[in-house]
Amino acid sequence: MFIVSTKNCLNTAIEICDKSDFHLIMTEVKRFPDGELYVRVVESVEGQEVMAIGNTREDGEALEFMLLLNALKENGASKIIAFLPYFGYARQHMIYKPGEAISSKVFTHMLSEYSDEIITINIHDNSTKKYSKKKFVVISMVKHIAKYFSHMDIGLIVAPDDGAMEIAREAGEILNVDSRHLDKKRIDSITVSYSEARFDVRGKNILLIDDIISTGGTIKKSIKLLREMGANRIYVGAIHGIFINNSGDDIAGMCDELVVTDTIYSRYSKVKISDSIEEIISEVA
Ligand code: R5P
């Protein structure tokens, strides 16, 4: 099978090819003088099954990925699999305040228009799947994060809010450890507050786990609270490390170890997407 990548996922595409019989095909991406984006698939994809890999974190990345999918479709690919390690625009999956757009709905409609199947890793909220007209698979990398910490004598898994409880439970099953969540209240897009937790962490090594770290506000406040509560070591794991304003460095300085996957590459990407290659291949076969 062919694989084609946007610029932001090229390393992952190369690693997938190294561990499988995917063949990487190249693209030409440039901007016209007026700033508009141009995408071309350099080799013929006529009659081929192709997996397109790309992150959609920023507007330009999202547009590059959509144009890449369209290039495959216009040039005769027989099956197009859209693989988004980080599915951007998934965090607004419902209306919170009157008048809002549902970005995950718009985005999923566009993806399913230009592809035959969508695959992503730990999407912010699984309800986004209902917006797709095509097969939509979410692969979880929580097990790899949990296994990374299997020698750290973890005594409790903590989710920073109830939304992250599903991944905390999943990690708990791997490590055979209980999981609990903190009570978070979001004040605005960068500020959160916590009420006192009703469980005991005194003397325990904690794995604090979340799906996304963006500004880091959630994790930083959680670490502070767990320290005040008397936790021993605090390890932080997350699937996607966006790390706005170098928040990864701040968090690493506050905890015993920070580990994320390489869905968005950073120095804290100690778990690799290519570790899930068998699962990815079984979904596209
Ligand atoms: C929220 O629902 C998510 O699970 C994360 O807790 C949140 O997106 C993290 O954002 P930030 O790092 O900006 O607090």
d(CA 209, CA 258): 10
d(CA 2, CA 17): 9
SS3 212: strand
Q: What is the largest CA-CA distance in the chain?
A: 61
Residue 133 annotated to the active site: no
- What is the value of pTM for the model shown? 0.93
d(CA 48, CA 189): 43
Check pocket membership of 160 for ligand 1, CB cut-off 6 A.
Answer: yes
Given this model, what pLDDT does residue 60 score? Answer: 93
SS3 134: coil
d(CA 27, CA 153): 46
The one catalytic residue in 7, 133, 147, 184 is 184
Check pocket membership of 163 for ligand 1, CB cut-off 6 A.
Answer: yes
Given this model, what pLDDT does residue 162 score? Answer: 92
Given this model, what pLDDT does residue 82 score? Answer: 97
Q: How far is CA 204 from the centre of its chain?
A: 28
Check pocket membership of 122 for ligand 1, CB cut-off 6 A.
Answer: no
Distance 212 CA to ligand 1 centre (A): 6
- List, in order of start, the domains of the chain with CATH numbers: 2-140+273-284 (3.40.50.2020), 142-262 (3.40.50.2020)
Q: How far is CA 196 from the centre of its chain?
A: 29
Distance 210 CA to ligand 1 centre (A): 8
Q: What average pLDDT values come out for the chain (285 residues) when binned by 10 residues?
A: 95 93 95 97 96 95 97 97 96 94 96 96 94 95 97 97 96 98 85 84 97 96 95 98 97 98 97 89 81
Q: Which atom of ligand 1 lies closest to the CA of 217? A: 14
Q: Which atom of ligand 1 lies closest to the CA of 184? A: 6
Distance 163 CA to ligand 1 centre (A): 10
Check pocket membership of 167 for ligand 1, CB cut-off 6 A.
Answer: no
Given this model, what pLDDT does residue 48 score? Answer: 96
d(CA 81, CA 91): 22
Check pocket membership of 123 for ligand 1, CB cut-off 6 A.
Answer: no
Given this model, what pLDDT does residue 44 score? Answer: 96
Tell me the angle at which helices 247-254 and 217-228 cross, rounded to the nearest 10 degrees.
10
Check pocket membership of 217 for ligand 1, CB cut-off 6 A.
Answer: yes
Radius of gyration for the alpha carbons in the chain, expressed in angstroms and rounded: 20
Mutation test residue for ligand 1: of 162, 214, 242, the one with most atoms within 8 Å of CB? 214
Distance 71 CA to ligand 1 centre (A): 34
